[in-house]
Structure 1
Amino acid sequence: MTSPRTRRLTSAVAVAALAATGVAFASGTSTAAKNGPTLDIQLLSFNDFHGNLEPPAGSGGRIITDHKAVTDAGGVTTAADVTVDAGGVEYLATKLAELRKGHKNSLTVAAGDIVGASPLLSAAFHDEPTIEAMNKVGLDVTSVGNHEFDEGYKELQRLDAGGCLDDGAGAANQDSCPGGKSFTGADFPFLAANVKYAGTDKTILPPYEIKNVNGAKIGFIGMTLEDTPNIVTKAGVEGLTFTDEVETANKLVPVLKKQGVNAIVVLVHEGGFPASKQNWTDPATGKTYSVNANYDYTCQKGGVLSGPIVNIAGALDPAIDMVVSGHTHAPYVCDIKDPAGQQRMVTSASSFGRLVTDTSFEYDRRTQDIVRTSVKSANVVVTRDAKAPELTKLVTDYQKLVAPIAGRVLGSITSDVGRSNTENPGSVNAGGESQLGDLIADAQLADPTVVTGGQTPQIAFMNPGGIRAPLTYKATKGEGDGVVTYEEAFTVQPFNNYLVSLTLTGAQIKSLLTQQWSGLNATAPKILQVSKGFSYTYSGTTLGAVTLNGVPLVDTQSYRVVTNNFLADGGDGFPAFTSGTGKYFGGLDIDGFANYLEDNSPYTPGPLTRITKN
């Protein structure tokens, strides 16, 4: 276990716009081969931890490592995934300490979403436990991600600087500095190079950090994705602007070079999509199957990477030596050519602390730069072999504090209530309707806090990205099979969003439905989950019949709907919500969900007939 690192904040510097275009970068290129005596340096990285202090359960706590042939009772042979349980901060700390052995010069960095959308153990205390844990595991620097803005940028700044919130000691099931504890903030800097106060060039947190490793100066530029305002609650980013990732990083290259920093690493919370499938050949029979890809398939074993990070990495200044990415919760280790034609390492370590990327390289003391040809990276599974005692104590202490809230029994379910066919086969239909989406939308519709002026909502809409985990029938913590606790419900909906009722016309609702596969959602459709009584059909990008209780929606008629405040502000590419009138804020979405489970226990998933794809 390493001791917490003392941070050295770097002041923001105003810089002129980068004048060069194309591949003719004014800052030049990075070292391709060594030109003098070198220093060996290790860089350990991870991303999208999301406050998973305890080992994550279900598919979110497993990594695919191999495949095997399985023959069923009818004699049919198929290929099955071989997985290993991974993640949990106690094991992450152990793995990091293990990987650092034999490396005198080692840094540990992250690419955002360290906090936010966290399980109750961290979220109940405004993610202070996760910051404390990151201090203990020896995190040196991280970029911000979109989820760092879940509770607003001022709360992010508090997590960075320290101090307690006056939150009513448990109001809304959250308690800053419980039991009189102090909170000193992060021992590592959060970097936000592309997040500025609107109308200024001032960043809300430092744009970069320079680390001196035994005389080697390495600069880290940290950013979140430019699209952050479209995927977080509007109030959390009010008064801020988010700039282009490539433009932002390239402008900072000459700033770092002016300070004698030639070795530059970008930490960016934007990612790519590795191949989801690969071919696997059964060694016993020679038969080849199409299977889910191993964690190390892309790009180490033939898998191809796609997505935003490919374009970003291909356009970053050639002086930037490496890119550590995140956001897509995907594993990959890839070389992507920079504008000068040199290979540049681009990595991502899945999510929830299940993987760590172990990168090694040589630092040329003469050129004061990274020898690009020496860079080697591999993702390493955080297996659950040994716990780090210091982190076990932290987890145990907070488990005791959260127990009265977490263990409250809400009711029971008669079977798994799923959100994806990968986790629970049969839990999602061809139209994108899920069992858990139905349950949450019904809970929102039934919540009495959104009734105002005698107007009761008729339709509820839930964004699929806000459903963070399935409800599983099998007990995970001794609560009993089928029993649903508050902690389990919170893991499904961890954002503490408010429910909002508003009025939309039939025409506006139809426009809303088409936005599921158009505009910002054209390349990656987002199918909203809907409440009972409301149904529609679609084919490709064409909306078909839309009905409420079997009656077609009338374009000119007004309907009262309910959703969360994130969608109500036009989040996830649904601006039609912002045209609603008579907005009324109710209670928290998690409270409505918990109350519904209590009132409808035992709960059995119904047929998936609300959304039909022709």
Structure 2
Amino acid sequence: MSFTRRRLTGVIGAAACALAVVAAAGPTQAAPAASGPSGAQPDKDGNVKIQLLSFNDFHGNLEPPAGSSGRLVVDHRLDPGATTPVDVTQDAGGAEYLATTLKKEREGHPLSLTVAAGDLIGASPLLSAAFHDEPTIESMNAMGLDVSAVGNHEFDEGYRELQRMADGGCINDGAGANNQNSCPAGKFAGASFDYLAANVKYRWDTQGHRAGDTILPAYTVKQVGPAKIGFIGMTLKDTPSIVTAAGVRGLDFTDEVDTANALVPVLKRQGVQAIVVLIHQGGVPSPQQWTDPVSGKTFSVNPTYDYTCDKGGSLIAASSPILPIAAKLSPEIDMVVSGHTHQPYVCSVTDPAGKPRLLTSASSFGRLVTDTTLTYNTRTNDILRGSVQGSNVVVDRTQAKDADQTALIAKYKTLVTPIASKVVGSVTADVTRSGNPAGETPLGDLIADAQLADPSTVTNGQQPVIAFMNPGGIRADLTYASSPYGEAPGDITFDEAFTVQPFNNYLVSLSLTGQSIYDLLTQQVTGLNAGAVKTLQVSKGFTYTMTPTGPVDGSVALNGTPIDKAATYRVVTNNFLAGGGDNFAAFTTGTGVYYGGLDIDAFSAYLTSVSPYAPSTPTRISGTVTP
């Protein structure tokens, strides 16, 4: 890996890094008013308008996302004879339309910056993931992205791979081995925008780095006309619990508020008074109360994309993790751009000084752009807080496609076709993520069975007897009618299989006691998972009865025989769960840990072996997780 000047500024510590980034950002003196384009000069009071365009959670969706992931709720209706209203939706998203939207929104705004709040890459469709998300970085460069915080999914392939995304360079991955191919065109320049990770630091001294250094720059300062604006970028401090442990080993993820507030005086010493936080943490909108114009009846419905705060809706749910962060960030911070929850909102949250401060999020997958305007005063070098106004703009698919993005997509579609179009199996009907009352799903059954059958995790003759799969790692259904490459109905291509499991996790076998298995099942509904139940999908032969507080004692069985809490069982899972991801700490008690192959390879190979596959009714987990 090459270490560019950007890398050097990123690892010499937050304060020193700030000096380097400010120096690279251009002169600290405001440009003479006459030198800028019309509309870029300060008025008689020294004020100038700045535009800030923002988005988040793009996840490599170069092509328009399919299904509900590619739609936005824009209204509601109650059909004649119906008792429940339905959502009125609009198709949105995709790099070609996102780039066009950004260009349109910049028109008439000579002073404009474009920023993002993380998860640009990771959990990506095959078109990007097959090339380690290099295509998405190139797409962002072409869109004119200026700054982005890192998100948790930027760590999917480890922090060193994230650093390569920022700096460029190729990796020797076997030119297509394991269905991935770095630098298929011979080079990768890396991000032309600033990737920021203020709260991700080396835990101890390592080669070329000191303990406490950030893995990427903590912040950057952008000169736009006469204005100088500082951006602090962070991911959520809980990132280690939702990514593969090996990818973040040796790193500390510090508190978001403490990190940002400590950087405020550092920025101010450099003459930077205008400060924006980009943070990969977010909120969840409350339900919308919608009144049918015909019957006059009011219903609780899914909020429209522009309802929460912006169009009369209440503030995001009180339990939203972004709220305490936004409320405690220094009053010197003028705006907060958030993400992670894939939700749309433009809200005002009171800062510690009692003043309102804008908090935004633009959904996900490039479906929305938040267009914010603010007034910058060149005499105080600060943003007039009361001037900050924003709204979410739909990335409409009826508009013209951006030619540069179309060319980039065409290039990589050609390169990925040999990998993507290969038929790996077939199904007799849709295999879905729709669960029974206990949370077991037909697709979860299939994936868990595939993991159990994979020979790569057998070590010293020990064959796993139980497989566990996290539900959040199952990203799409297998659809009978889908034929993206003209294959016969029911045929499943590698592309379709990859869309189901896009993380390139490794399968891991380990030994757990029966008691640890009980603990594992209990952790599905307790602790940090109590508010968001995560039902692990399990392999055939493993059964139990679930309650809202955990499994019924004595019900956990393997092939009809109750699990012995004192005995040891060989299990298989992915490396994300094996490292304690999704708050399943019981996995970390395992012994004899052995790494096998990639989960997607196991899944596609199993599909081949059992095709045509007929989905079964979920009966492995009985009971319910609902109180």
C-alpha RMSD over aligned residues? 1.9
Contact 2:541-2:559 within 8 A present in 1 as well? yes
Measured at CA, do residues 48 and 535 of structure 1 come closer, stay the same or move farther in structure 2, by a change above 3 Å?
Answer: same
**How far does the alpha carbon of each residue in 1:80-113 deviate from its partner, in whole angstroms, 9 at most, with x for none?**
1111111110111011101111111110000011
Q: CA deviation at 1:607?
A: 1.2
Which one of the candidate residues 53, 60, 72 is aligned to 2:62?
A: 53
In structure 1, C-alpha distance between the alignment counterparts of 2:519 and 2:168, rounded to whole Å: 44
Mapped contact 2:55–2:362 kept (Cα < 8 A): yes
1: distance between equivalents of 2:222 and 2:599?
Answer: 42
* Distance (Å, rounded) in 1 between the aligned partners of 2:232 and 2:128: 27
Q: 2:340 pairs with 318, 327, 337, which one?
A: 327
Distance 2:100 2:281 in 1: 27
Q: Secondary structure at the match of 1:535?
A: strand
The residue aligned with 2:510 is: 502
Confirm or deny that 1:197 pairs with 2:202. yes
**What does residue 536 of structure 2 align with?**
528
2-side partners of 1:367 and 1:347: how far apart? Answer: 25
Corresponding residue SS for 1:271:
coil
CA distance, structure 2, for counterparts of residue 35 and residue 562 of structure 1? 69
- 1:118 and 2:124 are equivalent in the alignment: yes
Question: Aligned to 2:591, which of 581, 584, 596?
Answer: 581
Of stretches 104-113 and 500-509 in structure 1, the one that deviates more from structure 2 is 500-509
Report how far residue 542 of structure 1 moved: 3.5
- 1:557-568 alignment, distance < 5 Å: 557-568=567-578
Structure 2 gaps of 5+ residues are 17-42, 205-210
One-letter code of the match for 1:391? Q
**For the residues of structure 2 that align with 1:474 and 1:381, how far apart are their CA atoms?**
29
Give the alignment of 1:403-418 within 5 angstroms: 403-418=417-432
- In the alignment, structure 1 residue 39 sits paired with structure 2 residue 48: yes
Q: Distance in 2 between matches of 1:15 and 1:574?
A: 36
Q: Compare 240-249 and 145-154 and name the one that shifted more.
A: 145-154
Check the 8 A contact 2:468/2:539 in 1, yes or no.
yes
Q: Normalised by the size of structure 1, how large is the TM-score?
A: 0.91
Alpha-carbon distance change, 347 to 543 in structure 1, aligned in 2, over 3 angstroms: same
Q: What is the deviation of 1:294?
A: 1.1
**8 Å contact kept, 2:14–2:198:** no
2:327 corresponding residue in structure 1:
314
* 1:400-439 pair list within 5 angstroms: 400-419=414-433, 427-439=434-446
Aligned residues: 580
8 Å Cα contact 2:14-2:218 kept in structure 1: no
Contact 2:51 2:113 in 1 (8 A): yes
- Which of 469, 483, 486 is 2:491 aligned to? 483
Higher mean displacement: 62-71 or 340-349: 62-71
CA drift at 1:521 = 2.1
What TM-score do the two structures reach when normalised by structure 2? 0.89
Matches of 1:76 and 1:184, distance apart in 2? 55
Equivalent position of 1:19 in the other structure: none
Report what 1:258 is aligned to: 269
**Counterpart of 1:67?**
76
SS where residue 375 of structure 1 aligns? strand
Distance in 2 (alpha carbons) for counterparts of 1:502 and 1:451: 10
Give, in angstroms, the shift of residue 447 of structure 1. 1.1
Q: 2: CA distance between counterparts of 1:140 and 1:457?
A: 48
Give the Cα–Cα distance (whole angstroms) in 2 for the partners of residues 39 and 603 of structure 1.
63
Corresponding position: 1:82 with 2:111: no
1:592 equivalenced with 2:606 (yes/no): no
* Pairing 1:369-380 to 2, within 5 Å after superposition: 369-380=382-393
Written as runs of structure 1 = structure 2, the 5 A alignment for 1:166-245 is 166-179=172-185, 181-199=186-204, 200-245=211-256
Aligned to 2:23: none
CA apart distance, 1:353: 0.6
8 A Cα contact 2:54 2:337, kept in partner: yes
Q: Which residue of 2 aligns with 1:492?
A: 500
Distance in 1 between residues matched to 2:60 and 2:374, nearest whole Å:
30
Q: Distance in 2 between matches of 1:483 and 1:265?
A: 48
Q: Deviations over 1:41-71 (max 9, x none)?
A: 1100001111111111111111111112224
Cα deviation 1:409-449 (Å, max 9, x = unaligned): 12222332222xxxxxxx11221112221111111111122
1:26 counterpart residue number: none
Question: Which residue number in structure 1 is paired with residue 102 of structure 2?
Answer: 96
Q: Is the 8 A contact 1:35 1:364 kept in 2?
A: no
Q: Which residue of 2 aligns with 1:570?
A: 580
Instruction: Tell which deviates more after alignment, 335-344 or 551-560.
Output: 551-560
Shift of 1:9: 9.3
Deviation at 1:303, TM superposition (A): 3.5
Q: Is 1:131 paired with 2:137?
A: yes
Secondary structure in 2 aligned to 1:78?
coil
Distance 1:92 1:225, change over 3 A: same
| 1:190 aligned counterpart, secondary structure | strand
What secondary structure does 2:120 align onto?
coil
- How far is 1:553 from its partner? 1.0
For the pair 1:604 / 2:618, whether they are aligned, the reply is no
Q: Deviations over 1:326-380 (max 9, x none)?
A: 1111111110000111111111111111111111111112221111111111111
| Partners of 2:425 and 2:492 within 8 A in 1 | yes
Offset at residue 604 of structure 1 (A): 2.4
CA shift for structure 1 position 453:
2.6
Q: Distance in 2 between matches of 1:241 and 1:479?
A: 47
- Unaligned stretches of 5+ residues in structure 1: 1-5, 17-33, 420-426
Equivalence for 1:424: none
Alpha carbons of structure 1 residues 216 and 125: separation in structure 2 relative to 1, 3 Å? same
Superposition map of 1:391-406 within 5 A: 391-406=405-420
Q: Which amino acid aligns with 2:272?
A: V
